Amino acid sequence: MDQHVSGSEHRSKLSFKETGALELDAMTWGAERALKAMVEYQVETLRFLARRAYCNLEFMRHLRHCRGPQDIAQLQQSWLKECVADYGEEAGRLVASGFQLSAGDVGPLQWLMYRPGPGDRRGNSGGA
């Protein structure tokens, strides 16, 4: 991390044309990571919805074969337990995906955060 911060001083002395190209590269990199994460979330969500739809259809199929209210109550109870467990697992998967994305390398974007602005002369004068 310190390498990125110390490298920002060198990068801030680049010309406007070079800096603009680097900013574009950094923004493209960030957008690429965000789009990839969105696609992963969508694929995982659709996979989960397909799995739940199948379980719901199986529940309806088993419901037709119940002989009385006690069988129905038992089937509903097992379906509900399975449903709660599935939603809990899915929430865990989505949270893990979010943590994985946030723990990724932010080096290409980090120098943008630590470089001085156009009117900022922190590095040149001994104090503010």
Instruction: Give the model confidence (pLDDT) of 49-59 as tens digits.
Output: 999 999 999 99
Domain boundaries, the chain: 20-107
DSSP state of 64: T
* 8 Å CB contact between 26 and 109: yes
Q: What gap in Å lies between CA 94 and CA 99, rounded to an integer?
A: 9
| Residue 20 pLDDT > 90 | no
* 8 Å CB contact between 93 and 40: no
Total residues found in the chain within this entry: 128
Q: For the whole model, what pTM was predicted?
A: 0.57
Token representation of residue 64: 């037709």
Reported as a single tens digit per residue, the pLDDT across 86-115 is: 999 999 988 887 777 776 655 555 555 566
DSSP state of 117: -
Token representation of residue 99: 């943590």
* 8 Å CB contact between 120 and 17: no
Q: What gap in Å lies between CA 9 and CA 62, rounded to an integer?
A: 67
